[in-house]
Amino acid sequence: MSKNLVIVESPAKSKTIKKYLGNDFEILASYGHVRDLEPKEASVDVENHFKMKYQLIDRNKRHVDAIKKAAKTAESIYLATDPDREGEAISWHIYELLKNARLLKDKTVHRIAFNEITKSAVTEAVAHPRELAMELVNAQQARRALDFLVGFKLSPLLWKKVRRGLSAGRVQSPALRMIVERELEIEAFEVKEYWGISAELQKKRKFFAKLTEYNQQKLEQFSLINDAQANDALETIKQAANGSLIVDSIVKKQKRRNPAAPFITSTLQQDAARKLGFTTKKTMMLAQQLYEGIDLGKEGSVGLITYMRTDSTNLSQDAVNEIRMFITESYGSESLPSKPRVYKTKNQNAQEAHEAIRPTSAFRKPDEIKSALTQDQYKLYALIWKRAVACQMIHAVLNTVAIELVTENRAHRFKATGSVIHKPGFLSVYQEAKDEDAEATDEGTILPEVKEGEKITVNDITAKQHFTEPPPRYSEASLVKALEEHGIGRPSTYATIISTLQQREYVEVDKKRFKPTDVGRVVNGFLTNYFKKYVEYSFTANLEDELDNIAEGKLEWVPVLEEFWQPFIKQITDIDANVKKSDVTQEALDEDCPECGHKLSIRLGRTGRFIGCTNYPECKYTRALTKDGEEPQEKKAEPEIVPDRKCPSCESDLLIKQGRYGKFIGCSNYPNCKHMEPLEKPKDTGIQCPKCKKNNFVEKKSRKGKVFYACAGFPKCKNSFWYPPIEEECPKCHSPILLHKTTKKDGEQKVCPNEECDYVLNIESNPS
């Protein structure tokens, strides 16, 4: 039997660690937490200094039994769970179980932790073990007790005041509040019309300039608010321009752009959502796999990245030295700044002993290990690798130019801006992603060489109508960013917060954006009206800071719990006694019931909100609300009969019907006859599918009405794209087609549909 027993959390680590430590070490996994609070209120004894009663988690009993069996014969035990509070608590729980089973007599027990699963890190940890850090354990116990007490007291109150089966969480509730408040902003938003004027100019090539001054007055957003004003301005400017504009000033500058810091948990989740379309949950799952170890064939199992739950942008000196060496060898010494870059961590409570997320070796290039990874593992590893390498590279240099042009009478002024990359620097490796709703930039726009006083030909001057837009709903990336900015939760909890809100059906995802459900609105209303203090962003953030201070040994955990508990339980008692269910689930309307004359209200039912009489159950009058909370305007029209045609299956009339996904033609004899066909034949693009080489691409609509382009041979050939195909060969990989991609962020582009090819060509277009 092995003399040394090493206990880790995950079995995936075992292979990697075993390879480094050899046969004198037996590696066993706890499979996560081994103990949790008993599922009853007395598990946290609020009268006895919050003493906590734990029980063994049933699903992990056999793993604990295996650990106990191995511990009997081992001389030394190494607790090697993850290097954070949760990992420290798991080690402590394992220690307590072994101690209670009297298996630690005459044995040495060590706590070891490593930020990366590499030979040097693991052997260094074994050579320099430490004691269990009870400050970290107590911080985790305090968090668990808080979450348990809030859930055990607040959830039953929700059952009584809203609906059975509901629950509320300490950090999920402020996150829900964010989503609901954003939805209320959107609903209250008043759309305003405004107009912009731009000139299409010509010198060797087309370029565009926007009107900035009209009649010697600065043009504000709402200077032109209707078509009459815009058309008057257009005529005045065209007459003054008389076919040309004069270059009044040229300002050329060079600006530097520095690389972003290496990833921490939140920024990794944001960039993976923006660039790869990954959910936070998926990102963390893949990162865990990369951290624990991937079988690379001859090398065996290797941990590819450092620990992925971190809020520190710190890099070890060894890592910085290796990255700089890699940059010199791969990109040349000119791509390396004279001194290593040091990044300041924004979170004041970040543990600087931890590192940012980085590859365990910069020399392990993504493409060289691609065959050993799944497609998603490769994408995430490449993202982490590129960001880490780029963070130590030289800045990028951009040439910017701003040209101001005026009409001959100088009453009207236009401005054209452009920016091109002069020296790519770190941009040759990595560029940080932006949210879809981020403001567009002029990067990539090349303006012609002009001289002051030169007349530039005007091809056309046009006015374009615009409307103000409400703030966008939160995406996964923007919600994580907002949670981080408000200090709600910590890096390891963001994915759980988001998935919990979805599991409880408090929010739903619409076009990759979070929208509150009716139940979510009511629960949020209840919490913000009656527990306002506890869903305040500042309160939640301050509580997180106190947990951090417990972890650092600056605070004792029991007084923190006592300070929270007394006012919280008093609030629970008061609301239980004084608030009626109708106060929470009904919203009064200034409208009388048409049947009994009592007032109507918006109420919450099993399937969502509806309008009902406040005199229920004596009066049972109800009417529906649409999903957007407005009453339906009119009754559905009867299906229209298709003229001059009969059902080819049963000779009955054919009807134009409305289904979940739009209109279609169906048999009037349904359900006896189930014949159906599309209302219109799909539009043929005339471009052959390169996959099956038999059918053309046709224009179709998804279930949610979004247009996409698919092979007409579906379902035999499932080749499809969200953007229209172009019959042009990719100059890089020779794919027979390109896609015409249009986004708010990047404008119009030609892109290669081949996932392994990064060919992109910007298409000049008239700016909005």
Catalytically active residues, by annotation: 307
To which residue do tokens 């008093």 refer? 570
In order, the DSSP letters of 590-640 are: EEE-TTT-PEEEEEEETTEEEEEETTTTT---EEE--TTS----SPPPPPE
- Nearest of 485, 84, 469 to residue 267 by alpha carbon: 485
Can you tell me the distance from the alpha carbon of 41 to that of 56, in angstroms, rounded to the nearest whole number? Answer: 17
CB 382 within 8 A of CB 348: no
Can you tell me the distance from the alpha carbon of 654 to that of 676, in angstroms, rounded to the nearest whole number? Answer: 9
Indicate the SS3 state at residue 691: coil
Angle among Cα 401, 407, 413 to the nearest 5 degrees reads 50
Sheet order of strands, 676-678 included? 640-646, 653-659, 662-667, 676-678
- Nearest of 629, 504, 677, 561 to residue 45 by alpha carbon: 561
- Nearest of 674, 673, 676 to residue 661 by alpha carbon: 676
Can you tell me the distance from the alpha carbon of 38 to that of 57, in angstroms, rounded to the nearest whole number? Answer: 9
Report the 10 Å Cβ neighbour count for 217.
10
Can you tell me the distance from the alpha carbon of 61 to that of 65, in angstroms, rounded to the nearest whole number? Answer: 6
Can you tell me the distance from the alpha carbon of 82 to that of 68, in angstroms, rounded to the nearest whole number? Answer: 20
Indicate the SS3 state at residue 155: helix
In order, the DSSP letters of 178-218 are: HHHHHHHHHHHPPP-EEEEEEEEEEESEEEEEEEEEETTEE
